[in-house]
Amino acid sequence: MKEYCLGFAFDGRYQQVLLIQKNKPEWQAGKINGIGGKIEKGETPKESMIREFKEESGITTNAGQWNSILEMRGEDWVVYVFSSFTNQIFSFINTTDEKCGIHSINRLPLNVLANVNWLVPMCLDTSVNSKESIIKFW
């Protein structure tokens, strides 16, 4: 089973979100998504989220800053989705060839991956933030 983490970090006023323009995998190239990647052997999903966020945005976070929102599952994959609320997003730096950017939650770019349009509001929903949900895709 392939495991991934995906995080949506919002400013403290819940008005803006830090997203990344993907170059890989190929099916995501040119699209905008949350920040994340593959979970490495021996990592928990949250540890992976902290590592990936640092690698892709230059921002150091800790486990207490990430809320587990949901799991998206397919036949041979799972994506653990997290949210964070911190003004640290304004200090991001581009550390890879995939470029981060801050976007208004009310005007997401047209080239977001389709699920970002419902994942962002879900991450902002306090009733979801208090418990983990599972969505299966098979």
pTM, two decimal places: 0.91
The pLDDT tens digits of the residues spanning 72-116 come to 999 999 999 999 999 999 999 999 999 999 999 999 999 999 999
- Helix (H, G, I), strand (E, B), or coil: what is residue 46? helix
Q: What is the mean pLDDT of the chain?
A: 92
What does the pLDDT average to over 42-57?
Answer: 98
- Predicted confidence at residue 82, as pLDDT, reads 96
Q: What is the CATH number of domain 2-136?
A: 3.90.79.10
Instruction: Tell me which DSSP letter residue 12 carries.
Output: T
| Cβ(1)–Cβ(77) below 8 Å | yes
Listed by start position, the domains of the chain span 2-136
Core vs surface per residue 11-49: b (16+ CB within 10 A) or e: beeeebbbbbbbeeeeeeeebbbbbbbebeeebebbebb
The pLDDT tens digits of the residues spanning 124-133 come to 986 655 555 5
